[in-house]
Structure 1
Amino acid sequence: MDVELRHLRAFTSVARHRSFSRAAEELLITQPALSRTIAQLEGSLSVRLLDRSSRHVDLTDIGGEFLVHAERVLASLDQALAVVRHQVTLRLGFSWLLPDPWAQQAVSRFEENIAASVTLVRTDDPLQALRQRTVDVALVRGGFDPPRSARTVHLYDEPRIAVCSERCDLTRLGQLDWADVQHWPLIVNTVSGTTGPWSWSSDQRPEQIIETANYDEWSETVAANRGIGIVPEVAQRRTQHPALRFIPLTGAPPSPVSLVYLPDTQGTLIRRFLEAATQAEHE
């Protein structure tokens, strides 16, 4: 007997709704396709499971008995699949401070809808982690060169803000214009920073660049009053360093936030995570 899961799901849906039209809506198929599926099941079993009329659908006696076992089989299968899905993980790589509240909403929506989990992987270079396949999706800020064959989804743009030491003269100015940054020593995170000499044309770049290799080095160098930094505004909400001060920055271009992934890995999981990510961005 060539009975497939689609036959059982179609039959139990019709039996539950006592209606081919409502069952077709639930299963997202056409009513003729549903009728053919039920006919195939009855033909394979050589029994009549449903009594049809123009007004209603009823179970036959054997159909009622078969429904009990079919629902039991599907319930056991769903339980088995749930066990597996809870062991399935999508790895999201990021370098510093996931955007809020986007990250929390996207992860929650994905885990609730997919019954899979998201593992958050902090790494200095999310794109390199993606190349090495130690993450499945990389969250990247600013401009970047994606790995070959990678695909990019732009989420939104973050405003920028200046940051300096509590002992810096900039604290007395109250604000800084993007065109005036060139007159201050600029501390740059060369691996995952969103702002650097590449952010200006050659004739407007800061005269002095101080390079660091990660967010912690960058923040401590700014706190030590070696220069100023420029970051997305999320840093002001999330950074608790007592020696740092945030200064409004006028005229600055926004900093893009993007997701980067390789289409040949975790295809279904990534697609569903991207759906959750873009929906969270619009909330």
Structure 2
Amino acid sequence: MDIRHLKYFVAVVEEQSFTKASERLFIAQPPLSRQIQNLEDELGLQLLQRGSRPVKTTDAGQFFYQHAKKVLSNIEQMVSMTKRVGKTDQTLKIGFVGSLLLGLLPQIIYEFRKLLPNVSIDLVEMGTLEQMEALKKGEIDVSFGRLKFSDPSIRRILLRNEPLVLAINKYHPLAQHNDGVHLADIVDEVILCYPNTGNQNFANYINNLFAEHGLTPSNIKYLSNIQLALGIVASGEGVCIVPYNSRSIHMANLQYLPILDIGAVSPIFLSFQEGNDNEYIHLLLRTIELIYQKIEIDTKITLTQTFN
């Protein structure tokens, strides 16, 4: 059994057709069928249901498919990581979500640059899910994101839980609640969420937060970015839930209130490929830890603190 057998079998299962799989693999169908038969003979098991249209796996075949996918993914990551290690240039590529620029990320990168004056640091803005694909392909080395996800090939470290706040117009009736508001207080308001693209994003996270508290907002509007959302709130229409550090965005008539519900936070994760905990990542984590200690943010950052 070799990598070729795994690639062939995965292609047949995913295409549910020998014909389509052969086109995807750029080989003729008879040799493909023979290779799958050889694989079954070697295992002494039937992996595909004979005569099924579309092609379906047996229970053993489905088990083999899941593990074959993992093996191929690990090989792909090994190749990409080896290529990066073998490069002569000293460049560290860091992915990040834009909202983190409103917080401590610029300070973290600044201090990190001072520790590595001979290393070029490239910052690439991208969504959390885009970061995951870029990490697996070796296009970036490490990333800062907000969303929770599950991928065995990616290691995540929770840096902190940033509180969420409510942005309102200062003449809004809720503005008198200086101590804070609950999600139930705004469930019937016009709630502005961002962004308006993709399924796994900050807007989706806010929707889930309401659902976790048994609430269903009656009027949600989706906008492209945080600046647009806050601008509309400042103009007197709607409210918007944003991370705490977004308070650095100042606009006339804009006011921020704490959200008092348990779990009203936005987690910030540092992510990298499993097995890629090199000296740069250790140094980056140490930089973050020192900055958090300096401004008295409670956190416990260790390389063993992962979330699978």
TM-score interval w.r.t. the shorter chain? 0.5 to 0.7
Query: Residue 244 and residue 216 in structure 1: after superposition, are their counterparts in 2 closer, same or farther (change >3 A)?
Result: same
Which residue of structure 1 lines up, in the alignment, with residue 240 of structure 2? 229
The residue aligned with 1:164 is 168
Aligned-partner Cα distance in 2 for 1:144–1:96: 16
Q: 1:260 & 1:246 partners in 2: Cα distance?
A: 30
Q: Judging changes above 3 Å, is the alpha-carbon distance between structure 1 residues 135 and 239 closer, same or farther for their aligned structure 2 residues?
A: farther
Contact 1:178-1:252 within 8 A present in 2 as well: no
Aligned-residue Cα RMSD (Å) equals 3.1
- 1:119 matched to 2:130? The reply is no
Provide Cα deviations, 1:217-256, integer angstroms capped at 9, x if missing partner: 33234334442111222111x1022242212332352322
In structure 2, do the counterparts of structure 1 residues 220 and 144 end up closer, same or farther at CA, with 3 Å as the change threshold?
farther
| Residue from 140, 147, 150 that aligns with 2:145 | 140
Q: Tell me the equivalent position of 1:98.
A: 101
Describe the shift of the 1:273–1:234 C-alpha distance in structure 2 as closer, same or farther (beyond 3 A): same
Q: CA 1:135 to 1:220, structure 2 compared with 1: closer, same or farther past 3 Å?
A: farther
Tell me the distance in 2 between the aligned counterparts of 1:179 and 1:215. Answer: 22
- Fraction of identical pairs, as percent: 18
> 1:188·1:229 contact (CA, 8 Å) conserved in 2?
yes
Q: Which has the larger radius of gyration?
A: 1
Aligned to 1:213, the other structure's residue is in SS state: coil
In structure 2, what is the Cα distance between the partners aligned to 1:235 and 1:248? 12
What are the Cα deviations for residues 43-77 of structure 1, in whole angstroms up to 9, with x where unaligned? xxxxxxxxxxxxxxxxxxxxxxxxxxxxxxxxxxx
In the TM superposition, 1:1-283 aligns within 5 A as 88-98=91-101, 100=103, 102-115=104-117, 116-123=119-126, 125-133=127-135, 134-141=139-146, 143-147=147-151, 149-174=153-178, 175-190=180-195, 191-193=201-203, 196-201=206-211, 203-236=214-247, 238-253=248-263, 254-263=265-274, 267-283=278-294
Instruction: Tell me the distance in 1 between the aligned counterparts of 2:271 and 2:292.
Output: 16
- Residue identity in the other structure for 2:174: L
Q: What letter matches 1:244 in structure 2?
A: L
Structure 2 CA distance for aligned equivalents of residues 224 and 195 of structure 1: 25
Q: Which runs of 5+ in 1 are unaligned?
A: 1-83
SS of the aligned residue for 1:127 comes to: helix
**C-alpha deviation, 1:194, in angstroms:** 8.2
Cα pair distance change 1:257/1:129, threshold 3 Å: closer
> 2:193, 2:221 within 8 Å by CA — same for their partners in 1?
yes
State the one-letter code of the partner of 2:156. Answer: T
- Please give the alpha-carbon distance, in whole angstroms, between the structure 1 residues aligned to 2:160 and 2:168: 26
- Aligned CA distance change for structure 1 residues 210 and 244 (closer, same or farther; 3 Å): same
Alpha-carbon offset, residue 265 of structure 1: 6.2
TM-score (norm 1): 0.57
Matched-pair contact (CA < 8 Å) for 1:171–1:245: yes
In structure 2, C-alpha distance between the alignment counterparts of 1:149 and 1:161, rounded to whole Å: 33
**Structure 2: 5+ residue stretches without partners:** 1-87, 196-200, 295-308
The answer to whether the 8 Å contact 1:160/1:255 transfers is yes
Corresponding pairs, count = 195
Secondary structure, in 3 states, of the residue corresponding to 1:206?
coil
Contact 1:195 1:230 in 2 (8 A): no
User: What TM-score do the two structures reach when normalised by structure 2?
Assistant: 0.53
